[in-house]
Structure 1
């Protein structure tokens, strides 16, 4: 039995009984048709003939490869039966018919055509006896059917981008007897060109180095026809190279796309290749084509794109695409480096002017979060503070200087310092705000009248012309009783997050305070104080207007959104509430103004706090574990919860020792049946690197573990360094204890 599936087109034609086909016997063909058929058989391009009104399909070996498993059953059959989608779902069939009827040749530079699989189209039918080729005397009829049925297994060979041509073949009388149809796949070139176009568009909105690298990696996989692509930047630690990679098979969610890139050290052999390519400013291509290293020309940073490919020859269009790709990425990367440097300076200035820590006591817990503006490289004017007054009360301050830039940040720092001075002299809200009016009036004389805040040409001796305004919320709280006295100078009113006891009496989970709002500082006027009682478990949530503002919305819509967030908050500490509110209110695309959140809550009986200074030495990890285990035992925390907490502490201290290189402060709080752990370091070494890790290893593997085993997890930067925290809801051990005693524990959260 002859295996027609392996038979070439010329051999298949030699065994075909042409007299049974609509084409008639080959010796009766017009000379032009015979010449066209000979040229098709000899052509290296996929070439087919559509003969006569029935479009009988004849083709060469290159076209047979494009047909895949439809060959050889397709040979000699009507083309519209073999590939019905060319007529039903694309304009190609119409173009071919037009050549047959009118003789009009065509060139379709970019078509994308596929066809349905067996069971749903004419391609599955057995060849009709009137048109099927007699491939060989001993070919079983089932062979052709089986070959056709097998069409469902391989990929569709004609699915992709193609260049197609159709030309008429005429007989001696000038009548069209056939169409010469040539198909050239252009999918690879098309995809590369598309990748460059998409790259240019995506880089238009990428402003940070991280953003640019993400875009470059995503598009490099298609542009380089690579299994994976990497971008190499100088390592800040070791003088070598670090790399972030993206694999072709990765399908990241929008949330995953927003995560920072994972960087790892480049292996020595690859690092040498990257250094050579960057130093010589030449593209490195391995002999097999598996590795391509392309230097990026930028004045501000050395960098390279690395493509990890199959062992295939690089396409001819690679050089053109490569040039456009690297030029775009290098230009964007150069801008991003400058942007990151300026933004880091602005953010460092902002955070330096904010307090590195907030006071805590057994009765009161305070937390804050600050989020800079998402775009731009200017510092903001939002500020917060908290400090104890001489009589033991706690002062709370949150405010916003109108405008942005170094000037606004400078004014903010001066106002924050002035608040402390005024409150320590006389802490009554009306007295403090009256004193700050005079401070703002004096500061108004220091800055330009005709230029907005943040303008580079501003200089001392010029003024705002009376346009410097500061909004501020000022409050005092007595820790033992929870009595709060609060006043607002043009600032949004805070929200009250009710604890369990208040909710049992019918109070909503979250509500905005009803209180008068006076004019901003610098204008003068009355700012009446409001007195309220903060019960145990209640929490005050203050914020700046950047948390509420959205383009096209009024502040009322932002207030409703905030109340919705507060209504769904689980029982939480002030630290966690500040984190959750910030995460829920800041849109994924980032906010247009900087914003701050300040939370304060009364702690129930049984609140405990312990702190430990941990030196930056490996042996400190075990010492911290032993210290924590001893404290947790004293607090009657169960063994299972102890194991979870100590494991988390071990990971955080290890991370601080390895990456910060400075002493860290370990704090444990027992509050409302949950243990909060904070590790704060003063390191400023940038992003940690994975040493000896695989290219696909996840950065912060220890932090991921902590997040997985804890009930809440978060991190934030301050002017002093990085703070990482987690919380675990705990149950007491079975040892005898007094719930309200000096070391007792309240087992159930009340907030």
Structure 2
């Protein structure tokens, strides 16, 4: 018989296989059915005694077994006398008919002592509790090459006096398949929400390792003429331990000796039960230890790839398991193709969107400016959110944040027209009512030309006078900005919504009034789009309150930190785009420096030397220098490694904090060539940043991304 299946920590796994011992030579089937054999058998010499003296409940159980079309085995008494029906005789193969009426230990020989047969039946007999074995394998009669696979349920048979008389074993189609089909359904649901190849990879590797209790798993996809892959092995420190980390892709040539490449190129699955399937291409001891491997192709019209799963022990790939793996591979292939199309659309849309936004914001002596734009969850189309900040002819600063309703190219086109018109109007007459009135006429004209009266544009526009920090604001149907006031004399910071007179959205022929405020040193004003605070099923005021609370609790009013904080202030996800613009009135002028880092191995060491020299010249405390250099070196290494382009390191120091940013120019939205975001090197970068900095974040740009961190200097003596 067979070993019982077990539930491992990672889910169901196939049971170990035990075959029945071969019948001794000379034994032949009688040709009679089991019912006839049972009635013809001389039971008087057994513990059961003559049939006429059997307990009525036992007799009824025997009749049930003999009449059932399902394979059934009945072991009766303390010596477990064996009775079974015709269906189970086929399962026993060569052991039939000599096993009938024989104590189980003698009938099954060594197989009775194998895990999953004698021990299970004796346990049920002893405890009276039923046991369901998830999966088992039983060998047919000699000459049959294909084994049969069953789920076996064991339950007690009681005598008419209620005592345990025997154990009934029913073999049926495995329920193990049902459990794995449920797992397959979960995989389908999770893949439905996977937008990118990185997302698909996370889902698939987690599913495979958990559901099959694997030692080795690889997902590979084509990368031009080569392949790139992500590997998981049992007990490995995972890069993906934090969801903010993308998987780390490795590149491999299209070597046909690699099972994954062979499966991807041929479109055929292969299964190795025992051997050295990765020995020819092994890169480390983990791969050399793999003995059993399944390689499943991932093939669609636009994608070639493979999923390989393996064990460090011999493993028979059962037919049901093979079918399940092939079905899972089909789902993964379709999800990967969808993700590839999404990345192409997403990358194009993002590039279009960000090309319409300012790539560089103005620099002022006592005012620091930062902005951030994040696409919505659906992210595969351009949107209408935008921000801008620019110098006016009289030296003042114009700042604006707007939202054109819609998530398509048309919304982005309207946004581009509104932003360009706003600049032209502001450079002529920067007064907020005049600018909004001109934009109102533009939006009305656009709606009339397109015969679409549903163009909906909101905007908040302000003019900052750097000489005294005064800000004049007007709103056209847009949420009011948040004002963070720095605490004075040790008092905690506060935050509130700016009281801007409400006005109608653009295109409706409204009139707009202005409000004024003054940014004192240390204060920050934050403009934002409604995607920051709106959540489905929740009042808008809840989101506004959460944003105000987060702004007041921020340890710093630094604009980059405020932008990062704003995008995460409200719980839940949003389908809308998110745009934020922050301006801080600095307490003192800051010192800054920038260096370019070549994409070569010596780049990080040169950054460390340059940064050490600068920070010591500026009198930064040594503990801060050490921590900052460690983080910067790690981020620079990641930027050079994953973007494959030169990086730019910028440091900015004032009396309150040290701000360091590392920018790469790797093109976003690449369809074929993978690039992991910064902080993806073995998970180390993220841990360093979170441990050593006071705040950090990532800012996407028109091309590439910027990773930054901030270290507060309050309370730390400076030389």
TM class by shorter chain equals: 0.7 to 0.9
SS in 1 for 2:440: helix
Alpha-carbon separation, structure 2, partners of 1:636 and 1:523: 56
CA distances 1:492-516 after superposition (whole Å, capped 9, x unpaired) = 0011111012984xx9722111221
CA distances 1:155-202 after superposition (whole Å, capped 9, x unpaired) = xxxxxx9433779999xxxxx996562255947544433322322333
Indicate the residue corresponding to 1:131 in structure 2.
none
Alpha-carbon separation, structure 2, partners of 1:734 and 1:678: 23
Alpha-carbon separation, structure 1, partners of 2:199 and 2:695: 28
* 2:508 paired with 1:536: no
Matches within 5 A, 1:635-646: 635-646=618-629
Indicate the residue corresponding to 1:333 in structure 2.
336
Which range moved further: 509-518 or 553-562? 553-562
Which range moved further: 660-669 or 342-351? 660-669
Alpha-carbon separation, structure 1, partners of 2:490 and 2:472: 22
* 2:466 paired with 1:479: yes
Residue 604 of structure 1: CA displacement? 0.7
Indicate the residue corresponding to 1:49 in structure 2.
75
Matches within 5 A, 1:140-219: 162-164=151-153, 181-182=168-169, 186=174, 188-219=176-207
Which range moved further: 343-352 or 62-71? 62-71
Alpha-carbon separation, structure 1, partners of 2:488 and 2:528: 25
Which range moved further: 224-233 or 309-318? 224-233
Residue 445 of structure 1: CA displacement? 4.0
1:275 pairs, out of 257, 261, 273, with: 261
SS in 1 for 2:595: strand
Indicate the residue corresponding to 1:550 in structure 2.
535
Matches within 5 A, 1:261-340: 261-266=247-252, 272-288=258-274, 290-309=292-311, 310-340=313-343
Seen in structure 2, the aligned counterparts of structure 1 residues 709 and 168 have a Cα distance that, compared at 3 Å, is closer
Whether the 8 Å contact between 2:486 and 2:493 is mirrored in structure 1 is: no
Indicate the residue corresponding to 2:49 in structure 1.
29
Which range moved further: 319-328 or 301-310? 319-328
2:564 pairs, out of 552, 555, 579, with: 579
Which blocks of at least 5 consecutive residues in structure 1 are unaligned? 1-8, 11-22, 87-91, 93-107, 113-160, 171-175, 448-462, 691-696, 737-751
Indicate the residue corresponding to 1:515 in structure 2.
500
Residue 586 of structure 1: CA displacement? 5.6
Whether the 8 Å contact between 2:355 and 2:702 is mirrored in structure 1 is: yes
Alpha-carbon separation, structure 2, partners of 1:177 and 1:664: 77
CA distances 1:712-748 after superposition (whole Å, capped 9, x unpaired) = 2221211132111111223799776xxxxxxxxxxxx
Whether the 8 Å contact between 1:220 and 1:307 is mirrored in structure 2 is: yes
Q: How many residues align?
A: 605
Indicate the residue corresponding to 2:219 in structure 1.
231
Matches within 5 A, 1:644-723: 644-684=627-667, 698-699=681-682, 701-702=684-685, 704-723=687-706
SS in 2 for 1:164: strand
Indicate the residue corresponding to 2:592 in structure 1.
609
Whether the 8 Å contact between 1:485 and 1:532 is mirrored in structure 2 is: yes
1:402 pairs, out of 397, 400, 405, with: 405
1:411 pairs, out of 401, 411, 414, with: 414
Residue 281 of structure 1: CA displacement? 1.4
- Give the structure-2-normalised TM-score: 0.74
Seen in structure 2, the aligned counterparts of structure 1 residues 617 and 244 have a Cα distance that, compared at 3 Å, is closer
* 2:258 paired with 1:260: no
Alpha-carbon separation, structure 2, partners of 1:31 and 1:66: 32
Indicate the residue corresponding to 1:492 in structure 2.
479
Residue 622 of structure 1: CA displacement? 4.1
SS in 2 for 1:501: coil
- Give the structure-1-normalised TM-score: 0.71
* 2:713 paired with 1:730: yes
Alpha-carbon separation, structure 2, partners of 1:708 and 1:177: 63
CA distances 1:584-621 after superposition (whole Å, capped 9, x unpaired) = 3262xx31111111111100124222233444454454
Which range moved further: 298-307 or 213-222? 213-222
Alpha-carbon separation, structure 1, partners of 2:251 and 2:384: 39
Seen in structure 2, the aligned counterparts of structure 1 residues 719 and 212 have a Cα distance that, compared at 3 Å, is same
Whether the 8 Å contact between 1:652 and 1:703 is mirrored in structure 2 is: no
Seen in structure 2, the aligned counterparts of structure 1 residues 206 and 547 have a Cα distance that, compared at 3 Å, is same
CA distances 1:122-175 after superposition (whole Å, capped 9, x unpaired) = xxxxxxxxxxxxxxxxxxxxxxxxxxxxxxxxxxxxxxx9433779999xxxxx
